[in-house]
Amino acid sequence: MKILIEVAIGFILDLILGDPSWLPHPIRLIGWFISKGEKLIRKAFPKSNKGEFVAGAVLAIIITAFSLIIPFLLLHFLSRLSICLEVAVASLFCYQILATKSLKTESMRVYYHLKNHDLTNARKYLSWIVGRDTQNLTKEGITKAAVETVAENTSDGVIAPLIFLVIGGAPLGFLYKAVNTMDSMIGYKNDKYLYFGRFAAKLDDVLNFIPAVLSAYIMVGASFICRLDYKNAFRIYKRDKRNHSSPNSAKTEAVCAGALNVQLAGDAYYFGKLVEKKTIGDNNRNIKIDDIKTANKLMYTTAHIALIILCGLRLVILNI
């Protein structure tokens, strides 16, 4: 029950506070360690494909281990002092592991600039939440990218962290976020990270496989509640769930594309190079900027359903 209380408080805090810039964030600290650790570890291994792969694997294991062990020991120490103190700190950690409101806030910032016909700032703020090049995107391209990132991150920014939090509390949540952060920082398939980031990318794929499937099915249910095209959402999921180089990224994107009756994904530029990508969904209508709002509504509904289901499952399992 203690873990469920911590997760519930963290979920509520996330919806209320989001990610204010003034609040120190442990995920940023993990990112700092990844960056510094990369520089040190690269120097210690041969500059060959095998050497880079081993170096990246060592970095991933170290970061993942410390991200699990440090919060576990801290919370264990606090429990000796006061259960209330432990619950308070663990709840704060759970809040910082989730990204529901911050995902909405950042994507809606893009929406408001599009609404004001300010493409320059829309591209600027979009670049904060996507990995692709944004400087030459059209209004439609900006909108598609914003909808895609909300749909994709519903899984790895909201539902997957919730799953790990409900299973193992804040320490397991930090383990997941460490792997996810490494994937976003070094998991690129470019000259610099093709071998160095491969272990972290594959580890992220493994950890996200089941959460991505669960997220997709929950999102289909959420599309029904939101009065979207839930039948088409399920159809497009079954058809296009593998239309991505990552084994997990297309799953919630496919559901969202089907629910909105739009086409997402397709070719995009990364670091100045065109990357050919399959499309997701059918081009039944032109995407519009209000679809960003609808995608966020779908994401929020999915998050609430997931919280209820996961907490309910844990209660059932504990009582068996």
| pLDDT single digits (tens) 32-90 | 999 999 999 999 898 899 999 999 999 999 999 999 999 999 999 999 999 999 999 99
Report the mean per-residue pLDDT for the chain: 93
Using CB atoms within 10 Å of the CB of residue 59, give its burial: 0 to 12 exposed, 13 to 18 middle, 19+ buried: buried
Question: pLDDT digits over 133-153, tens only?
Answer: 899 899 999 999 999 999 999
Mean pLDDT is lowest, of 27-31, 244-248, 282-286, for 244-248
How far apart, in whole angstroms, are the C-alpha atoms of residue 209 and residue 163? 12
| Mean pLDDT across 182-196 | 88
**Is pTM beyond 0.75 here?**
yes
Q: Which residues contact residue 210 at a Cβ distance below 8 angstroms, ignoring those fewer than 6 apart?
A: 163
State yes or no: pLDDT of 317 exceeds 90. Answer: no
Give 316's contacts (C-beta < 8 A, 6+ positions apart).
Answer: none
The residue ranges of every structural domain in the chain are: 2-319
- The predicted structure's pLDDT at residue 191: 82
What whole-number distance in Å separates Cα of residue 314 and Cα of residue 185? 32
Residue 149: phi, psi to the nearest 5?
-70, -35
How far are the Cα atoms of 207, 241, 254 from residue 244, in angstroms, in the given order?
A: 17, 8, 10
Where residue 274 falls among pLDDT bands split at 50, 70, 90? confident
Share of the chain above pLDDT 70, in %: 100
* Closest CA relative to residue 159, chosen from 171, 147, 151: 151
For the ranges 168-172, 187-191, 285-289, which has the lowest average pLDDT?
Answer: 187-191
Q: In this structure, what are the phi and psi dihedrals at residue 275, rounded to the nearest 5 degrees?
A: -110, 120
Measured from the Cβ of residue 79, the count of other Cβ atoms closer than 10 Å reads: 15
Q: Which residues contact 160 (CB under 8 A, 6 or more apart)?
A: 176, 180, 207, 208, 211, 212, 215
Instruction: Please answer whether residues 78 and 219 qualify as being in contact, where contact means their C-beta atoms are separated by less than 8 angstroms.
Output: no
Does the pLDDT value for residue 170 go beyond 80?
yes
- Predicted pLDDT at 23: 80
Nearest partner of 59 among 37, 36, 84, 85, judged by Cα: 37
- Given a cut of 70, whether residue 107 has pLDDT beyond it is yes
Residue 320 confidence (pLDDT) above 80: no
205-227 burial string, b = 16+ CB within 10 Å, else e? bebbeebbbbbbebbbbbbbebe
d(CA 315, CA 223): 26
CB-side neighbour CA atoms (13 Å) of 30? 28
**Does the pLDDT at position 275 exceed 90?**
no
Q: What is the pLDDT of residue 73?
A: 97
